[in-house]
Structure 1
Amino acid sequence: MDTVNDSMEVARLFQEVMHLFKHNMKKLLGDAGISAPQGMVIGLLSKNKKMKITELSSKLCLSNSTVSGIIDRLEAQEMVVRERSKEDKRVVYVSISPNFEDMHKVFHKQMEKNVEKIISQGSPEELRKISEGLDALKKLLSVQQE
């Protein structure tokens, strides 16, 4: 019975931490005039440089039409650009616009500083425990994917 209670407590705490983290990031994104879904698209594009809408949809677990709407709004704000494939005109790639590239780098630095500020409030012992706990959770979750 203790294992069930411990598992539920870990799940509850993880959910609370994720909620607080999302709230913090949502505020930071909001201050920059970007919605959370737009921020997720920008984040994926910054890592992958150029992606098809179907790839973005798959990674975000959202429909193509939803992602297309997000891209429409980002394109209107000149944050992303669409580019048709030269080989297959049906295929459309999306990437961060050159105009937004510098602003994105500044924003990314702000996010890093924000996370650093939060984490720096912990003692070395707390940070070690957090790291060990997250590493253990990652290993348990990885086993589930195999």
Structure 2
Amino acid sequence: MYKEGIKVARLLKSINKRLHKNISERFNDCGFTVPQIMVVATLFKNKKMKISELSKAMQLSNSTVSAMINGLENRNVIRRVKSDKDRRVTYIELEDGYKKIAEQLYEEVEIYLQNIIEKATDEKVESIIIGLKNLQELLENQDIIHSL
């Protein structure tokens, strides 16, 4: 069983590396890294978010997302906005000039991923989804066990 766990981990790493490489090559001319594209796309979809919300959505640590936000803020891609209700709360949102670019990035990534999936049969896609959901469930159950 140990070897199968290693195989799964290596497959996931390989898939992630390939997706990252392909997206990076595809969007090389836009001047954003893949993680920055993820930030921009997530903000486009959600309009404005706290760093903690953005971190959770991207499944990255607050410090990692905060560093990306700082870089994007320095480039005037995003801005920090204080909440009207609680001045201690800060939201992150796209600068107006980047909303159209964000929409294009979001649509391009969506098309890229859809093109990959369309090459497979419906049965294969369903099998992949079921397998990934099963793995996710196993990992979530593992997290519960360790928290006891």
TM-score w.r.t. the length of structure 2 is 0.74
SS in 2 for 1:94: strand
Residue of structure 1 in register with 2:108 after alignment: 110
Find the aligned partners of 1:116 and 1:39 in 2 and give their Cα distance: 17
Find the aligned partners of 2:118 and 2:52 in 1 and give their Cα distance: 38
- Of residues 130, 133, 136 in structure 2, which corresponds to 1:132? 130
Segment drifting more, 16-25 vs 106-115:
16-25
Residue of structure 1 in register with 2:17 after alignment: 19
Find the aligned partners of 1:55 and 1:71 in 2 and give their Cα distance: 13
Q: Which runs of 4+ in 1 moved over 6 A?
A: none
- Of residues 73, 76, 93 in structure 2, which corresponds to 1:78? 76
Find the aligned partners of 1:21 and 1:122 in 2 and give their Cα distance: 16
Residue of structure 1 in register with 2:37 after alignment: 39
**Displacement of 1:113:** 0.8
> Who wins on radius of gyration, i.e. which is larger?
1
Segment drifting more, 42-51 vs 16-25:
42-51
Find the aligned partners of 1:43 and 1:73 in 2 and give their Cα distance: 16
Superposed CA RMSD in Å reads 2.7
Letter in structure 2 aligned against 1:34: F
* 1:98 equivalenced with 2:60 (yes/no): no
Higher relative contact order, chain-length normalized (CA < 8 Å, sep 6+): 2
C-alpha change, 1:141 and 1:101, in structure 2 (3 Å) is same
**Displacement of 1:45:** 2.3
Unpaired stretches in structure 2, ≥5 consecutive residues: none
Letter in structure 2 aligned against 1:74: L
Find the aligned partners of 2:115 and 2:135 in 1 and give their Cα distance: 24
C-alpha change, 1:99 and 1:138, in structure 2 (3 Å) is same
Q: Please list the CA deviations of residues 63-108 of structure 1 after superposition, one character each: whole Å capped at 9, or x if unmatched.
A: 27x72x5334323443212223456655543201222112211211
Letter in structure 2 aligned against 1:51: M
Matched pairs, number: 142
Letter in structure 2 aligned against 1:124: D
Segment drifting more, 129-138 vs 40-49:
40-49
**Displacement of 1:55:** 5.2
Unpaired stretches in structure 1, ≥5 consecutive residues: none
